[in-house]
Chains A and B, each alone.
Chain A
């Protein structure tokens, strides 16, 4: 397998982008990434998207995006793993370059979520439709049930859940591309509208339009291009039962743990080696459990971890410096690539006001459904 570098990243601003279509979002992000890398052609492209059929009645995204980046005879692949579609597209593109099949590959993700009124229904298709959604389990409800069980078993507090949101909004305020750039307080979170008890709306990531892209090439070719390379040193993917109720431990996210273990093993790194991380905080409880599964905290101690400030921008292991899904926004298919873009910027020292101090190794973790799929990547400065 060849070593692979990320040589360019780009994304649209995230938000309610009424004037932009799904193809506009992908192409805008792609052009920014191509420009960042300094390449003018690609050998293949990937597009991660969860549910363009339900959101905008458009499938066949591979060909569509190849057409609209003006490179329309290249191989093009759409990848779907619910909210982990972007992370999985990155992994598939990485494998294509590592294998020697292609040299320069565009990997992107996109979602256009605001053309329909009821995004919750489309999102519920990432759960077990026949056996969860049919009976009334919405996505916030599934994570609320994880939260309730975690609070019951480990004593995680309502305030600790809110602290995830407060931290990520504080970071998002420093990110010009974030959907929400306003700091909030624990009280604001707790007084916001109840969605699925114990989760309020400020515990939930928003409905967002956005696109994000990255350019990959073999590491030994990276010096030919202007984009400052960052090396991919670990990639891990894992799955779990689609229905939350089928999992032995409802307070755990086993696919996250397995995807991380596989990525750590490949990279030859351990949790304490990670200097900065982007994780899938689709709901506040998710970040708490994920930080446990990644090994940043012991099992059950994700709540105290966020409370300690260790995951804050100036903490030992800053988590979601971009604002995370919560504040940056969560255009589901784009999220996994946007996480990679943040890690690349942090490792290059290009993260502006949210730059952490001289990071060498970064981790991005992207999750689908209520945790039925997870993709973890580890990147390192060259």
Chain B
């Protein structure tokens, strides 16, 4: 990920600042200019709840060289309490079992180090509630 891209995404990744459709109330991360639910173009800023549950997950054993994640790691689709969904890793699981429906909380974590620039990429990961 490039430096400008890291900078551009920080409000989403660091602070969960999303956009909420003023017409149907659905919130999106990242922000959208057109609501795919109702077609409205009117949005207001909103901050996403940090709690949710696991909709589905996988334990990744083969990563990619560029992303440098230590394998194995758990990747999951999380549905937050307001219905917004996102994809991230579930970490610090210890010996607890990850399951569909397990409650999680988003926390601020380092995601990666860009190989060329050395820029640190941060963002949200999930821990078990």
Which residues of A come within 8 Å of B, CB atoms?
A: 117-118, 120-121, 124, 130-138, 140-141, 144-146, 148-149, 152, 193-199, 241, 243-246, 250
Contacts and interface: CB of A to CB of B under 8 A. Distances in A.
Contacts of A198: 58
Nearest to B8: A130
Given A135-B89, A245-B77, A250-B56, A120 B62 contact: yes
A195 B61 CA distance: 5
Contacts of B66: 118, 121
Contacts of B59: 194, 196-197
A194 B30 CA distance: 32
Contact of A146 (B36, B56, B87): B56
A124 B62 CA distance: 13
B76 A145 contact: yes
A152 B100 CA distance: 8
A140 B62 contact: yes
Interface string B1-42: 100010001000000000000000000011000001000000
Interface in B72-93: 72-73, 75-78, 85-89
A130 B9 contact: yes
A188 B30 CA distance: 42
Contacts of B113: none
B103 interface: no
Nearest to A251: B56
Contacts of B57: 145, 148
B87 A243 contact: yes
Contact of A241 (B9, B36, B62, B89): B36
In the complex, which of the residues A133, A140, A196 has the most CB atoms of chain B within 10 Å of its own CB atom? Answer: A196
B108 interface: no
Interface of chain B, main secondary structure? strand
Given A118-B64, A118-B65, A197-B59, A250 B123 contact: no
Given A131-B87, A134-B121, A137-B87, A196 B56 contact: no
B72 to A, nearest CB: 8
A330 to B, nearest CB: 16
A195 B62 contact: yes
Contact of B111 (A135, A138, A195, A244): A135
B87 A244 contact: yes
Nearest to B36: A241
Contacts of B87: 131-132, 135, 137, 243-245
Contacts of A145: 56-58, 75-77
B67 interface: yes
A203 B108 CA distance: 34
The 6 A-B pairs with the shortest beta carbon distances in the complex, nearest first, are: A144-B58, A149-B56, A197-B59, A245-B85, A121-B64, A145-B56
Given A135-B88, A137-B87, A245-B87, A130 B30 contact: yes
Given A136-B75, A241-B36, 17 more contacts: A118-B64, A136-B63, A136-B69, A136-B111, A138-B64, A144-B58, A145-B75, A148-B56, A149-B56, A152-B100, A195-B60, A195-B61, A196-B61, A196-B62, A197-B59, A244-B77, A250-B77
Contacts of B62: 120, 138, 140, 193, 195-196
Scoring B36, B59, B64, B78 by chain A CB atoms within 10 A of each residue's CB, the highest score goes to B64
6 contacts: A120-B64, A135-B125, A137-B87, A145-B58, A197-B60, A245-B85
B63 A138 contact: yes
B100 A148 contact: yes
A121 B55 contact: no
A141 B65 CA distance: 15
A145 B1 CA distance: 24
A135 B123 contact: yes
Contacts of A246: 36, 85
B65 A117 contact: yes
A141 B75 contact: yes
Contacts of B121: 134
A54 to B, nearest CB: 11
Contacts of A244: 77, 87
Nearest to B59: A197
A134 B60 contact: no
A188 to B, nearest CB: 18
